[in-house]
Amino acid sequence: MTEELAKAWFSKADRDIKTAKDELATVAPATDCVCFHCQQAVEKYFKGYLVMKKATFDRSHDLEYLKSLCANFNAAFSSLDIGDLTSYAVEVRYPETAYEPSFEEASTALRLAEGVKASVLQYISRTAG
C-alpha cells in the first residue's frame, strides 16, 4: 500500500511537470501556471518520498520544510536546489498578489522541478537496489 501511494504521488507529479512543459512550449505561455505546476511537482515528489519512508508530515506547501523531512532519511536532499519554488504555491494563484513570472523564471522553475524529479528517483533507486 505504501509503495502504491508513493507511486500515485509521483504519477501526479509527473503530470504537473508535463503540464508545465507543455504550457511553456506554447506561443504565449501562462508563466504563472507553469511556475505553480513546478512547485506542485516538487511538493508531490517530496511527499511521495516521505510516504515511501513511512514518514508523517504536516499538510504543507512549504518545500523547505518537506525537503528537511526528506533529508532526515537521505542527507543528499539538503543540497537539492529548489530555488524559490515555494512562493509559487500561493503567490501566483490569487489575483490579490497579481504576480506574473517572466518566461525565464518559468523556464528556471521547470529546470528545478525536473532536477528534483531526477534526484528523488535516483535516491529511491539507490535504496531499492
- The model's pLDDT over 89-129, given as tens digits with 9 standing for 90+, comes to 877 777 776 678 999 999 999 999 999 999 999 998 876 54
| b/e sequence 71-110, b meaning 16+ C-beta within 10 Å | eebbeebeebebbebbbbbebbeeeeeeeebeeebbbbbb
Cell of 121: 528517483
* CATH of 2-128 given 3.50.20.10, 1.10.510.10, 1.20.810.10, 1.20.120.330: 1.20.120.330
Can you give the pLDDT at residue 129?
45
Q: How far apart are alpha carbons 58 and 81 in whole angstroms?
A: 22
Q: How far apart are alpha carbons 42 and 20 in whole angstroms?
A: 12
Q: How far apart are alpha carbons 31 and 105 in whole angstroms?
A: 8
Structural domain boundaries of the chain?
2-128
